[in-house]
């Protein structure tokens, strides 16, 4: 697989009609369990009506390639559309009866139905494969293949232009689903908004200097307006993408425990109910959790801060140059342990809160992550701004513990200790410049290098393992373990994608929220902060897309109608930012010694009232000005009902929605144009038989594709043979775990 965009050959980017891939690792199982498990897996997939081919992966693992027969897929898509309509997500009833097969409008719609076919519970018509969970904990990855052509084209396009368009967002949505598209919409909207404070900031830097009242006020207003605008924009996009309120049609999580089954008196549906008040009581546990996280992380940060201050300001002993870094190093080393401990508690809490859908579960988990992130990101700077600089003069001498140990000569200098008031500003400059660059490298460049090297190492090891194996096995088994020439590059890509990380869109959203938080909370200290962020975000957007398409597995195209709990976080940060900006301006504008507590409190109090009033006005104004969005939604509902009414009055023969007859269905060639300017669709791009065509859809794929799927007819047997071959090889595998 080529990891450089645009260099993929045609052969390599052909996915041979593989819709979905499962990665089955059996290194830790004995051979008998591994074969039984694997046979069950294949049987379940067959039972759900899916076609299966097996190839071996890196080390002791198998790659299960899944293809959903096109007529089955078409039916699933149709059913999914009917469901959307029933739940009021879309307003046009699709034509057709129960056996209609539909053509997907976008790749993501198609992949979503494939995802459902693989993961949904059996009673819902899926194969019930939940990777890393319960029965399937040895299925370590479950993913669709990337569309390399489209991704690399998009990336090349973006590198040439400054501003994304709504069409670009539509393309992201078409490729990766709404949840991912919302992240790109958010970073795009946020970056465009950043232009205003960036320009103001340049002006402020030239003429006003830091801690300017005017710039502070402008920044607060900007924050509030941005958050309110984004709410409208989000709602607008969710209507554009037909996902408004999509949360309610999602299926139950397998882990969901309900208390009673209630048959709805109106619809006759059976609902699995867990009482809302019980869930709320359990959610209240968030408060002790947040407290514990505050104490644990806050304590750690405070201790580090104190030790660092002590060493740099008071300590005059030997090794000062090295000792200064010690607290930060210790902090960095212990942070992952504490964070993972807290995340463990958070996960158990979220499990206990017992959410019905995966969406709600993720939302609750992200909330908790947000709390932890908030503490680790903002607390150090808050300590500098509100504790170190104002109070260091009275606190630092108390830190001088060494004197109690009689070691007074090391601390002689503390009497002429002077607080470095510019330290706060330096930290802000660091946060907005250096930290952003470091973050980018850590997030995108490092993992990429790591992944490439790791792949090279695994390929090398596999080749060596292949050589040892040749001595001990029959020709027939051997053939199974050697990639056919036509598939070699495809399988290389497959193995690489199976080893890649899962893409977590929440992390990227959270990163942007934290950036917004830095700006809102501390931006007034240095007017060029928004400019730095703006430049960073230009790169970040493209870097994140690079990561998504070339470093991570393609995420299942999950639907969402919002950026999720971070929206609440933005509200919180805008509020906090107003208070913080007011306090910083008040504290740092004049000589700090002259600041009185009552006047500071009054400033912050007034700022809070101004914030509340401003938010109210901004929300009202936005709703008034952008009321078109709402009106359009209403008009659409009205149109549906009207046409139905007209049909019903005129005793129409076919009582289907008359809208359906004139509905513009986006055909495949139009769809390709959504994400590619090339008029030549890739060979795997014709997955949609209309009912008139013959049902054996493989005939219509490329020759190589047909060859691939014409492989060993009994996938289970082929897999079991490979398991045996690879297991026998275990002794030679350096990665092989010790067995009990």
* Number of helices and strands in the chain (H, E): 28, 6
Nearer to a copy of itself, 9 or 269 (CB): 269
Distances (CA, A) of 260 to 270, 281, 283: 10, 18, 20
Q: Which stretch binds a copy of itself (CB under 8 A): 58-66, 168-176, 533-541, 638-646?
A: 638-646
The answer to whether 544 touches 440, Cβ cutoff 8 Å, is no
Nearer to a copy of itself, 517 or 555 (CB): 517
Does residue number 155 form part of the binding site for a copy of itself (CB under 8 A)?
Answer: no
Distances (CA, A) of 388 to 123, 294, 314, 374, 518: 61, 19, 14, 19, 18
**Minimum distance from residue 652 beta carbon to a copy of itself (Å):** 6
Cα 192 from Cα 315, distance rounded (Å): 47
**270-273/260-263 β-pairing:** antiparallel
CB atoms within 10 A of CB 337: 9
Neighbouring residues of 210: CB distance < 8 A, sequence distance ≥ 6: 425, 524, 525, 526, 527, 588
Residues 64-83 contacting a copy of itself, CB under 8 A: 82
Return the residue of 347, 407, 627, 690 that touches a copy of itself, per CB under 8 A.
627
**Angle between helix 358-383 and 505-522 (nearest 10):** 30
Residues 272-291 contacting a copy of itself, CB under 8 A: 276-277, 279-280, 283
Q: Which stretch binds a copy of itself (CB under 8 A): 48-56, 92-100, 319-327, 434-442?
A: 92-100
**Angle between helix 423-432 and 529-546 (nearest 10):** 30
Residues 580-619 contacting a copy of itself, CB under 8 A: 596-598, 601-602, 604-605, 608, 612
**Minimum distance from residue 657 beta carbon to a copy of itself (Å):** 7
Q: For a copy of itself, what does the binding mask look like between residues 687 and 726, x meaning CB under 8 A?
A: ----------------------------------------
Does residue number 134 form part of the binding site for a copy of itself (CB under 8 A)?
Answer: no
Cα 448 from Cα 548, distance rounded (Å): 11
Nearer to a copy of itself, 283 or 477 (CB): 283
Size of the site for a copy of itself (CB under 8 A): 56
Q: What is the 3-state secondary structure (H, E, C) of 171-189?
A: HHHHHHCHHHHHHHHHHHH
Nearer to a copy of itself, 102 or 726 (CB): 102
The answer to whether 616 touches 595, Cβ cutoff 8 Å, is no
Q: Which stretch binds a copy of itself (CB under 8 A): 200-208, 368-376, 633-641, 711-719?
A: 633-641
Nearer to a copy of itself, 304 or 657 (CB): 657
3-state secondary structure of 570: helix
Nearer to a copy of itself, 73 or 286 (CB): 286
The answer to whether 210 touches 145, Cβ cutoff 8 Å, is no
Return the residue of 398, 651, 731, 740 that touches a copy of itself, per CB under 8 A.
651
**Max Cα distance, the chain (Å):** 101
Cα 349 from Cα 355, distance rounded (Å): 11
Return the residue of 63, 93, 219, 297 that touches a copy of itself, per CB under 8 A.
93
Q: Which stretch binds a copy of itself (CB under 8 A): 44-52, 297-305, 535-543, 637-645?
A: 637-645
Does residue number 637 form part of the binding site for a copy of itself (CB under 8 A)?
Answer: yes
- Which residues of this protein are in contact with a copy of itself, per CB under 8 A? 82, 85-88, 93, 97-98, 248, 264, 266-269, 276-277, 279-280, 283, 575, 596-598, 601-602, 604-605, 608, 612, 620-621, 624-628, 632, 634-639, 641-642, 644-645, 647-649, 651-652, 654-657
């Amino acid at each position: 697989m080529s990891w450089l965009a645009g260099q993929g050959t045609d052969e390599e980017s052909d996915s041979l009609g593989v819709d979905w891939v499962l990665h089955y690792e059996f290194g830790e199982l004995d051979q008998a369990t591994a074969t039984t498990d694997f046979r069950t897996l294949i049987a379940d997939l067959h039972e759900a009506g899916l076609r299966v081919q097996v190839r071996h992966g890196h080390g002791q693992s198998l790659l299960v390639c899944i293809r959903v027969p096109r007529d089955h897929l078409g039916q699933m898509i149709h059913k999914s559309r009917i469901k959307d309509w029933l739940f009021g997500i879309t307003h046009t009833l699709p034509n057709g009866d129960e056996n209609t097969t539909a053509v997907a409008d976008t790749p993501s719609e198609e992949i979503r139905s494939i995802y459902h076919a693989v993961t949904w519970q059996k009673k819902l018509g899926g194969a019930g494969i939940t990777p890393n969970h319960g029965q399937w904990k040895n299925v370590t990855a479950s993913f669709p293949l990337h569309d390399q052509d489209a991704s690399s084209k998009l990336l090349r396009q973006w590198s040439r232009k400054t501003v994304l368009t709504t069409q670009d967002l539509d393309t992201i949505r078409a490729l990766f689903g709404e949840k991912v598209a919302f992240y790109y919409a958010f970073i795009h909207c946020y970056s465009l908004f950043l232009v205003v404070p960036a320009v103001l900031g340049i002006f402020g830097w030239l003429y006003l200097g830091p801690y300017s009242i005017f710039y502070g006020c402008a920044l607060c207003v900007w924050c509030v307006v941005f958050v309110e605008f984004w709410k409208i924009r989000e709602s607008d996009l969710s209507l554009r993408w037909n996902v408004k309120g999509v949360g309610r049609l999602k299926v139950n999580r397998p882990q969901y425990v309900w208390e009673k089954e209630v048959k709805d008196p109106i619809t006759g549906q059976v609902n699995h109910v867990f009482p809302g008040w019980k869930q709320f009581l359990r959610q209240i546990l968030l408060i002790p959790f947040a407290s514990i996280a505050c104490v644990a992380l806050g304590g750690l940060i405070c201790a580090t801060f104190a030790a660092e201050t002590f060493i740099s300001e008071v300590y005059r002993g030997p090794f000062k140059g090295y000792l200064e870094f010690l607290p930060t190093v210790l902090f960095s080393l212990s942070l992952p342990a504490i964070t993972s401990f807290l995340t463990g508690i958070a996960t158990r809490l979220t499990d206990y809160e017992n959410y019905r859908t995966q969406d709600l579960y993720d939302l609750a988990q992200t909330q908790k992550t947000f709390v932890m992130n908030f503490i680790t990101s903002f607390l150090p700077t808050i300590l500098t701004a509100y504790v170190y600089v104002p109070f260091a003069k009275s606190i630092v001498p108390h830190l001088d513990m060494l004197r109690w140990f009689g070691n007074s000569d090391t601390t002689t200098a503390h009497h002429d200790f002077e607080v470095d008031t510019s330290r706060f500003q330096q930290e802000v400059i660091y946060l907005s410049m250096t930290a952003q660059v470091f973050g980018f490298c850590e997030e995108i460049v490092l993992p990429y290098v790591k992944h490439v090297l790791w792949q090279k190492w695994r390929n090398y090891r596999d080749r060596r393992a292949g050589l040892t194996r040749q001595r001990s096995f029959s020709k027939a088994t051997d053939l199974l373990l050697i990639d056919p020439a036509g598939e070699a590059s495809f399988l290389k890509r497959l193995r690489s994608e199976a080893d890649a990380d899962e893409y977590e869109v929440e992390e990227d959203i959270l990163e942007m929220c934290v950036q917004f938080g830095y700006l809102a909370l501390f931006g007034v200290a240095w007017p060029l902060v928004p400019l730095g962020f703006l430049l960073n975000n230009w790169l970040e957007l493209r870097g994140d897309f690079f990561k998504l398409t070339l470093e991570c597995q393609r995420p299942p195209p999950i639907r969402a109608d919002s950026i999720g709990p971070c929206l609440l976080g933005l509200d919180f940060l805008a509020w906090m930012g107003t208070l913080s900006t007011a306090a910083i301006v008040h504290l740092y504008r004049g000589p700090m010694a002259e600041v009185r507590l009552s006047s500071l409190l009054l400033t912050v109090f007034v700022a809070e009232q101004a914030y509340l009033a401003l938010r109210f006005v901004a929300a009202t104004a936005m709703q008034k000005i952008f009321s078109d969005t709402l009106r359009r939604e209403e008009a659409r509902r009205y149109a549906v009902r009207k046409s139905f009414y007209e049909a019903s009055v005129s005793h129409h023969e076919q009582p289907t929605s008359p809208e359906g007859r004139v509905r513009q269905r986006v055909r495949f060639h139009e769809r390709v144009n959504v994400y590619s300017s090339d008029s030549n669709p890739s060979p795997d791009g014709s997955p949609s038989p209309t009912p008139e065509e013959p049902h054996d859809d493989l005939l219509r794929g490329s020759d190589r594709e047909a060859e691939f799927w014409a492989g060993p007819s009994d996938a289970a047997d082929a897999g079991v043979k490979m398991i045996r071959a690879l297991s026998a090889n275990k002794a030679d595998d350096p990665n092989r775990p010790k067995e009990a």
